[in-house]
């Protein structure tokens, strides 16, 4: 039979084991609580960090979206302004094209009026300019009347200095060709005579040099009118220089 001491030893051993078990239980329990608290804290901190990152990301994306919307609004506004400027420029170009066309039309009309005015002025100056036999006309007339038939010609002129001087030029050429050309005086024609007239008594009594004179004057471009006047003595030829013909 075990002794009391031996039992007491086992009892102490049991108490020590129980104490150790209790201590271990407390240690493990505390450790478990600490680990659980630390894990929960880390989860909270991770959630906080993730939530903060999510908020930052959301804020960044929101800002980027706002910026994109603002950029899009500006782009649309710029596009609208560009379209408006394009329309305004097209309208401006159309207005300029119409103005250029109008100016070109006005310039063409002005050129036409200028040409008409210059032509009218030239015609007026030509009408007002005194007649003269050109060197070519003088030489041609002299050649035509140089050969027979030749004869006497009386030269008259209407009451104006220009016909007088022109009659003198014709007389000078005839005299140079040895015609009997004499300047007689002023005549008054009704209606007024324009151009040159060669008068004689009648066609059948006209001297040969009358036809030669008419032909020569026609060749050089003076185109005289032929008149038969029974009051003129037979055989007489009269050349009358009137005013410058109106064209």
239 within 8 A of 164, measured Cβ to Cβ = no
Residue range 135-241 in CATH 3.30.70: yes
Total Cβ atoms within 10 A of residue 133: 18
Angle between helices 161-176 and 135-146 (to 10 degrees): 50
**Per-position pLDDT tens, the chain of length 247:** 556 777 777 777 777 777 777 777 676 666 777 777 777 777 777 777 877 877 787 888 888 878 888 888 888 888 888 888 888 888 888 888 888 888 888 888 888 988 888 887 777 676 778 999 999 999 999 999 999 999 999 999 999 999 999 999 999 999 999 999 999 999 999 899 999 999 999 999 999 999 999 999 999 999 999 999 999 999 999 999 999 997 6
- In the three-class reduction of DSSP (H, G, I as helix; E, B as strand; rest coil), residue 132 is classed as coil
- Give the angle subtended at the CA of 109 by the CAs of 107 and 112, to the nearest 5°: 110
User: Model-level pTM greater than 0.95?
Assistant: no
Domain ranges of the chain: 1-129, 135-241
| Separation CA 68–CA 62 (nearest Å) | 10
């Amino acid at each position: 039979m075990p002794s009391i001491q031996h039992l007491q030893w086992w009892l102490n051993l049991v108490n020590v084991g129980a104490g150790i078990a209790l201590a271990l239980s407390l240690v493990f329990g505390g450790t478990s609580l600490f680990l659980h608290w630390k894990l929960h804290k880390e989860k909270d901190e991770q959630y906080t960090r993730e939530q903060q990152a999510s908020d930052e990301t959301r804020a960044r994306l929101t800002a980027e979206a706002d910026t994109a919307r603002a950029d899009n609004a500006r782009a649309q506004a710029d596009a609208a302004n560009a379209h408006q400027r394009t329309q305004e420029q097209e309208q401006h170009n159309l207005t300029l094209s119409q103005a250029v066309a109008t100016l070109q039309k006005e310039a063409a009309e002005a050129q036409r009026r200028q040409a008409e005015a210059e032509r009218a002025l030239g015609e007026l100056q030509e009408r007002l300019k005194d007649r003269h036999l050109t060197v070519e006309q003088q030489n041609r007339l002299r050649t035509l009347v140089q050969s027979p038939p030749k004869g006497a010609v009386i030269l008259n002129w209407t009451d104006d200095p220009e016909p007088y001087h022109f009659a003198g030029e014709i007389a000078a050429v005839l005299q140079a060709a040895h015609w009997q050309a004499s300047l007689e005086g002023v005549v008054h024609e009704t209606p007024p005579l324009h151009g040159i007239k060669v008068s004689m008594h009648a066609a059948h009594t006209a001297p040969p040099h009358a036809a030669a004179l008419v032909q020569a004057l026609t060749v050089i471009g003076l185109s005289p009118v032929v008149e038969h006047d029974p009051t003129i003595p037979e055989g007489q030829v009269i050349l009358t220089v009137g005013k410058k013909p109106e064209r």
